[in-house]
Amino acid sequence: MAMPASPVWLITGCSTGFGRELARLVLAQGDRAVVTARTRERVADLVADSEGRGLALALDVTDDTQIAAVVAAAEAEFGRIDVLVNNAGYGYQASCEEGEEAAIRDQFEANVFGLFAMTRAVLPGMRERGQGHVINLSSVAGLIGFPGSGYYAATKHAVEGWSDALKAEVSPLGIAVTCVEPGPFRTDWAGRSLSQTTTRIDAYRDTVAARMQGTSEGSGQQPGDPKRAAQAMIDLVANPAPPRHLVLGSWGVGKVIEAFETRLAEVREYRQVGEATDFPESERH
């Protein structure tokens, strides 16, 4: 079923970055939107001049009670949710060896389990209406693991795999699923949504430590424009056949193409080894 001309959006993590830019553009073009952040005051300004088309709510995606309340409020206010944008989340950098257990688990709670719970809460309404679009903010790190980002990449890889299964289940029901995978964008992500381990092992100086330093020093100089990224997400919803993946930014597109071509070449190189592990034809029953 085609998306309504003026869809209702529910966007998580709207206090800054992609979520904020997307909320601004969605409301500016006349759509209705529920915009959320952990603290409502951080997003109240987004809906101040929306003439009743915007609803600002507090939401911690790790809190099931708040998730249920936000979905209920959205459906009570606007009658439905057409587009869910799972944007809330944050980064954590550490070598795989130095990862801190509490920090790792907290990141999975927000980036993975919160996203799962948010989607489960919205799907019944979409399924009943036979239409909807779930957009999950992933990352180039959801497709490629980089030094220092093993645990962050693990959360985004989890979202990617889950989204594959979700798409297979809900596409026949009229619901689209897209992962948006940004590379470096000028969202101040390093300054506001990134934590780094406090421990340092010298053996990782030239890999993990170098990349962590580069992430901090390069903040504010990234080539990606958040406003153009937000517009690309709006265009996704208007697309009658939206893609499963949308990699954003020239750096990210280049890295993903290179990585996938290398991966495919490796699979082909070892194809005979892999296929030889089947039972022989004569032994299959």
Active site members = 138, 152, 156
| Neighbouring C-alpha atoms within 13 Å toward the C-beta of 250 | 3
What pLDDT sits at residue 196? 76
In a domain, 49, yes or no: yes
Domain coverage including residue 121: 8-277
Task: Name every residue whose Cβ is closer than 8 Å to that of residue 281 and which is 6 or more positions away in sequence.
Answer: none
Tell me, what CATH number does 101's domain have? Answer: 3.40.50.720
- Cα–Cα distance for residue pair 137/3, rounded to 1 Å: 20
**For the chain, how many structural domains are there in total?**
1
What pLDDT sits at residue 86? 98
Per-residue pLDDT of the chain (285 residues; tens, 9 = 90+): 578 778 999 999 999 899 999 999 999 999 999 999 999 999 999 999 899 999 999 999 999 999 999 999 999 999 999 999 999 998 899 999 999 999 999 999 999 999 999 999 999 999 999 999 999 999 999 999 999 999 999 999 999 999 999 999 999 999 999 999 999 887 765 555 577 777 689 999 889 988 888 776 556 667 789 999 999 999 999 999 999 999 999 999 999 999 999 999 999 999 999 999 999 988 877
In a domain, 283, yes or no: no
Q: Which residues of 67-79 are buried (b: 16+ CB within 10 A; e: fewer)?
A: beebbeebbeebe
In a domain, 284, yes or no: no
In a domain, 192, yes or no: yes
- In terms of residues, how long is the chain? 285
